[in-house]
């Protein structure tokens, strides 16, 4: 272990839709277990406080009040246990619902990200976010589930300096092949740790994939869960990201330094046009 390290606990469970008190109770129980394992940060799935509810009518005033009170309880637990808590919740701002990832920091502040990329069923309930978010220390880039599928999203967070890309999830089993196919790529291409913590179990006809894991910048899986409820812990070496990105450690390419963006796409470019365009650009 180095001095610049982070012990991360992943909690995979099945939230009950609309039952904030039950979900909070489960989360607090897991928090105590993670604290005993000396975790620095405990990560929970997408929308784990309200449950994965895609009916706006179910976000009643009572549920929204329960969510606010649960946020306060989790902030207090974060301070008492001296552990950061990352979890999925819903907020009602500006007369709109938002699917949020929230981090309770040790100083009592909260970092909040509003989910950017959503499928049709989610867009019918939640307003999309318009900002990318990293924590105040610059280490954690916040995402949520479907955001993982878009390379530019993770690249922007890594280019902003984030060493750990975090994705609370409610990723379903039906299209789990997408998640399984890209999670390692996001770690390698951004020279970053990728933390994915998913829901498990079933909700109506939807079965969640589980498969929560942490992948390191070289694409190695540090820990991985199946489809059962539980908690796993792994240690993240933030200095490893620094060494790899600076090419002090040459086990991977300097991908961030060599990355080029903003190049025009030209259709049907002939050889003569190519030379003219390249000459003009230079």
Summarize pLDDT for 111-163 with one digit per residue, the tens: 999 999 999 999 999 999 999 999 999 999 999 999 999 999 999 999 999 99
Asked if residue 83 has pLDDT above 80, the reply is yes
Between the CA of residue 143 and those of 151, 176, 208, 213, what are the distances in Å? 12, 18, 18, 15
Cβ pair 83, 31 in contact under 8 A: yes
pTM: predicted TM-score of the whole model, two decimal places: 0.95
**Closest by Cα among 204, 196, 117 to 164:** 196
Contacts by 221-227, CB closer than 8 A, 24 or more apart: 221/184, 223/10, 225/10, 225/12, 225/200, 227/200
Q: How confident is the model at residue 279 (pLDDT cuts 50, 70, 90)?
A: confident
Token pair recorded at residue 4? 């610049």
Q: Are strands 5-12 and 230-237 parallel, antiparallel or unpaired?
A: antiparallel
With tokens 């390290």, the residue in question is 5
Q: Are strands 110-114 and 133-134 parallel, antiparallel or unpaired?
A: unpaired
Q: How confident is the model at residue 281 (pLDDT cuts 50, 70, 90)?
A: low
Boundaries of domain holding 134? 5-281
Token pair recorded at residue 110? 């909260």
Asked if residue 170 has pLDDT above 60, the reply is yes
Q: Which residues pair with 200 in a beta bridge?
A: 209
Rg of the chain (C-alpha set):
20
Cβ pair 169, 196 in contact under 8 A: yes
The tens digit of pLDDT for each residue in 36-77 reads 999 999 999 999 999 999 999 999 999 999 999 999 999 999
- With left for phi above 0 and alpha for psi between -120 and 50, is residue 247 left, alpha or beta? left
Cβ pair 57, 106 in contact under 8 A: no
Q: How many domains does the chain have?
A: 1
Q: What kind and span of H or E run contains 140?
A: strand 140-142
The CATH number of the domain holding residue 270 is: 3.60.110.10
Q: How confident is the model at residue 1 (pLDDT cuts 50, 70, 90)?
A: very low
| Residue 232: CA count within 13 A, CB half-sphere | 20
CA distance 39 to 35: 5
């Amino acid at each position: 272990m180095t001095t610049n390290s982070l012990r991360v606990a992943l909690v995979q469970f099945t939230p009950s839709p609309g039952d904030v008190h039950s979900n909070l109770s489960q989360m607090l129980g897991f928090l105590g277990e993670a604290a005993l394992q000396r975790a620095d940060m405990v990560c929970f799935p997408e929308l784990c406080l309200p449950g994965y509810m895609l009916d706006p009518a179910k976000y009643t005033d009572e549920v929204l009040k329960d969510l606010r009170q649960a946020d306060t309880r989790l902030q207090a637990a974060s301070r008492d246990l001296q552990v950061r808590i990352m979890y999925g919740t819903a907020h009602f701002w500006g007369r709109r619902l938002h699917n949020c990832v929230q981090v309770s920091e040790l100083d009592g502040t909260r970092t909040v990200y509003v989910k950017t990329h959503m499928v049709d069923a989610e867009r019918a309930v939640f307003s999309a976010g318009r900002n990318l978010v990293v924590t105040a220390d610059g280490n954690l880039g916040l995402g949520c589930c479907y955001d993982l599928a878009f390379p530019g999203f993770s690249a922007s967070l890594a280019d902003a300096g984030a060493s750990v890309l975090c994705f609370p999830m409610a990723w379903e089993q039906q299209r789990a092949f997408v998640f399984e196919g890209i999670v390692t790529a996001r770690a390698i291409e951004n020279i970053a740790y990728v933390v994915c913590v998913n829901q498990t179990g079933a909700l109506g006809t939807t079965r969640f994939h589980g498969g929560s894991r942490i992948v390191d910048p070289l694409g190695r899986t540090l820990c991985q869960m199946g489809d059962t409820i539980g908690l796993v812990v792994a240690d993240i070496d933030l200095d490893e990201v620094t060494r790899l990105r600076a090419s002090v450690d040459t086990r991977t390419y300097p991908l961030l330094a060599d990355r080029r963006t903003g190049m025009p796409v030209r259709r049907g470019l002939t050889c003569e046009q190519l030379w003219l365009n390249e000459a003009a650009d230079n």
